[in-house]
Amino acid sequence: MYYKELSNWDEKPELNNLLFFASRIKELTFDYTLDSFKYPMMNACTICYEGIELIEEIEQNNFNEKSIIPILEELLFKFQEDFISKKIIGENLEYYINFGDYSNLKEIKVKLQLLAQKLNPLKYNEIVISEINDIVLNSKNENSKLYKLSSLFVTNLVNIGYSQSYIYKNVNTIFFSRHRIENFEPLKEFFKNLEYDIQNYQVIFKCSKILEEVKSTSGTFKSELVFTIPAELEKFDKNLFFSSKKENQIFFIAKNIEALDPVSAKEIAEKRINKISNLFCFYHHKENPIWEDNTLVINTKSEYSFLIKEKISAMSKGRDLKPKKAASKLNRLINNIRLEDNSFSKYNRAIDLHGLSLQSKNIENQLLQNWIAFETLLVGYSKESKIEQVLKHLINFLTYKYVENIIEEIARDLKKFKFMLFLRQIENVPFGNTFAEKLTALIILDELKTERHKLYSNLERHPLLKYRIFEYHKKFSKVKSVEDLILRHKKLVEWQIKRMYRSRNLIVHAGVVPSYTEILVEHSHNFLDKLLNTINNFSIENLSIISIEQVIKEVEILQNHQYKILSANRDKTVDKLIYEKVLLFK
């Protein structure tokens, strides 16, 4: 969670819900937020469309009939958690989502079509905004509902066509800049900026002069290649964008782009120039056309222009180490890794694939390379199918220390907010040795209730973090709720891995690139990093482990042991005797 001082906010109790909402939207759309705290990629409506498209692929014999099952299971789960979708469908929901044994695909397709039509994203958006306004404007004590509504809102915005970075820019500009926040007017402005209003754009790139050779055919792609900017566009120049063109460059103007925001317009335009470049390279292999990341985007309706810099790649959104720490980790890895030859070859290949994916600008290639890395590391240890092996092993790696990862993220957030204050308070906790262990005790133990309430008091100006600690106190205090949390995460991860596999097959076998591929790349990269880091840690810190197969088995044993502990203590309250064992793998 990225925290910024609130010097522009009035300290009024009636603004607490607004601050909570603004902070949550910022967290949801921040590129480096922990996966568990980001917006869900899919909602009920988009899953319906995904199911319809998959059934059509099944009808063409591109997938087997059982491929639809995880999509329908996830849809049922979404309806359990998404009270807005439930509200829209109404009391007949149970009939729409009764899919029997999942075999009657014709009937299922009709039901999905009906659901998708009823879950109109614009109608959905109106209801979500109305619910948010009701809580914020009336200062209702419903943070849990507001937290969920914020996620539903962002997921819906992204799925109708708004870019995540545009939403992030808006929330920053309106709520966390120099503008004074003293009433609810900024909330109205925020919602107004994100209304469904498709605009017309022109997007201008500076690209290799070699593309001049296809100047006469660029019109086919609703584009134009020129050396000199037309006079009517000169007034839109920003930061000397036009005059800084080099002699070996030409302007590529993508025209008539319909989009909800300038960032999305740039993404659409980049697909055009990328397509022309790929076609050119098919006939000319010696030189690849290139273009600068900085682009000028012109809104032809408002006659306003935007200089948009390089977008953060989906492969670059994972948390990075600073150069010195990265170098230290690398030196330790090189000096201490002890994998036998076959495992080291697999590990080495996976690292190369990770590097290729980072270098590539093509999202399909990124997803394919990440998937190949999964198969390289996780396949070949049993007679099960490749996808079964990837699922079985990767799920274990992604649930391993899941709760500990959440606690470490909360610890990082506390340190960012008021480091010395919380350091002193948590160091005085009489349980645990590390900061994370002490923080865990502070969050859950009844003996520390007074200290916990002091923590809440110190977080009045950070209501989102206060709420999160309060919520995890409830979730971590009972063993059953900890077990439910981990099993929920396990199921979500399983569905997402299967979605990656389906998308991989669509790209390879049907030439179809799903609209959500970029977000899948981000998730697959996070999964791959977690997998590689866990292999690193075990092969360095446990000298008896010398193969990837041994790491896979060790993680499986530890994870099964964790499930056994949770099951054996299911009816217990988490107390000082078992909290480290239940939550921290101690």
User: pLDDT for 478-537, tens place per residue?
Assistant: 999 999 999 999 999 999 999 999 999 999 999 999 999 999 999 999 999 999 999 988
Residue 328 within a domain: no
Residue 26: strand, helix, or coil? helix
Q: Are residues 192 and 80 in the same domain?
A: yes
Residue 579 within a domain: no
For residues 290 and 270, is the Cβ–Cβ distance under 8 A? no
Q: How far apart are CA 586 and CA 570, in angstroms?
A: 18
In this prediction the pTM is 0.93
Residue 243 CB contacts under 8 Å (≥ 6 apart), including other chains? 237
Buried b (16+ CB within 10 A) or exposed e, 442-480: bbbbeebeebbeebeebbebbbbbbbbbbebbeebbbbe
Q: What pLDDT score was predicted for residue 161?
A: 96
pLDDT band at 319 (very low <50, low <70, confident <90, very high): low
Q: How far apart are CA 388 and CA 290, in angstroms?
A: 40
pLDDT band at 218 (very low <50, low <70, confident <90, very high): confident
Q: What pLDDT score was predicted for residue 286?
A: 74
For residues 384 and 392, is the Cβ–Cβ distance under 8 A? yes
Q: Are residues 276 and 370 in the same domain?
A: no
Out of 447, 482, 517, a domain closes at 482
Average pLDDT (570-580) is 93
- Please give the single-letter amino acid code of residue 161: G
Q: For the sheet containing 249-259, what is the strand order?
A: 223-226, 249-259, 199-208, 295-299, 304-308
The DSSP element (H or E) to which 533 belongs, if any, is helix 517-541
Residue 101: strand, helix, or coil? coil
Q: Are residues 427 and 440 in the same domain?
A: yes
**Bridge partners of 259?**
199
Residue 379 CB contacts under 8 Å (≥ 6 apart), including other chains? 386, 389, 390
Question: How is residue 260 written in tokens?
Answer: 């909800």
Residue 324 has pLDDT above 60, yes or no: no
Q: Are residues 207 and 114 in the same domain?
A: no
Q: Are residues 167 and 215 in the same domain?
A: no
Residue 8: strand, helix, or coil? coil
Q: Are residues 136 and 204 in the same domain?
A: no
Residue 244 within a domain: yes
Q: What pLDDT score was predicted for residue 3?
A: 60
Residue whose entry in the numeric block shows the structure tokens 């967290």: 27
Write phi, then psi, for 578 (nearest 5 degrees). -125, 0
Residue 4 has pLDDT above 70, yes or no: no
Q: How far apart are CA 330 and CA 336, in angstroms?
A: 10
Q: Are residues 265 and 297 in the same domain?
A: yes
Task: Count how many domains the chain has.
Answer: 4
Q: Are residues 89 and 164 in the same domain?
A: yes
Q: Are residues 164 and 272 in the same domain?
A: no
Mean pLDDT value across the chain? 92
Q: What pLDDT score was predicted for residue 481?
A: 97
Out of 262, 293, 308, a domain closes at 308
Tens-digit pLDDT profile for residues 115-151: 999 999 999 999 999 999 999 999 999 999 999 999 9
Cβ atoms within 10 Å, residue 151: 20
Q: What pLDDT score was predicted for residue 278?
A: 87
Q: How far apart are CA 511 and CA 507, in angstroms?
A: 5
Question: Which of 280, 354, 361 lies closest to 314 in space, CA to CA?
Answer: 361
Q: What pLDDT score was predicted for residue 292?
A: 93
Q: Are residues 364 and 510 in the same domain?
A: yes
Residue 135 within a domain: yes
Residue 323 within a domain: no
Q: How far apart are CA 200 and CA 181, in angstroms?
A: 32
Residue 573 CB contacts under 8 Å (≥ 6 apart), including other chains? 477, 478, 479
Q: Are residues 500 and 511 in the same domain?
A: yes
State the alpha helices, DSSP H only, in 138-242: 143-160, 164-175, 185-193
Q: Are residues 29 and 112 in the same domain?
A: yes
Out of 196, 230, 256, a domain closes at 196
DSSP for residue 291: B
Residue 226 within a domain: yes
Tens-digit pLDDT profile for residues 60-106: 999 999 999 999 999 999 999 999 999 999 999 999 999 999 999 99
What residue numbers bound the domain in which 536 lies? 338-397+489-568
Q: What pLDDT score was predicted for residue 545?
A: 85
Q: How far apart are CA 513 and CA 365, in angstroms?
A: 11
Q: How far apart are CA 166 and CA 128, in angstroms?
A: 19
pLDDT band at 361 (very low <50, low <70, confident <90, very high): confident
Average pLDDT (155-168) is 97
pLDDT band at 215 (very low <50, low <70, confident <90, very high): confident
pLDDT band at 416 (very low <50, low <70, confident <90, very high): confident
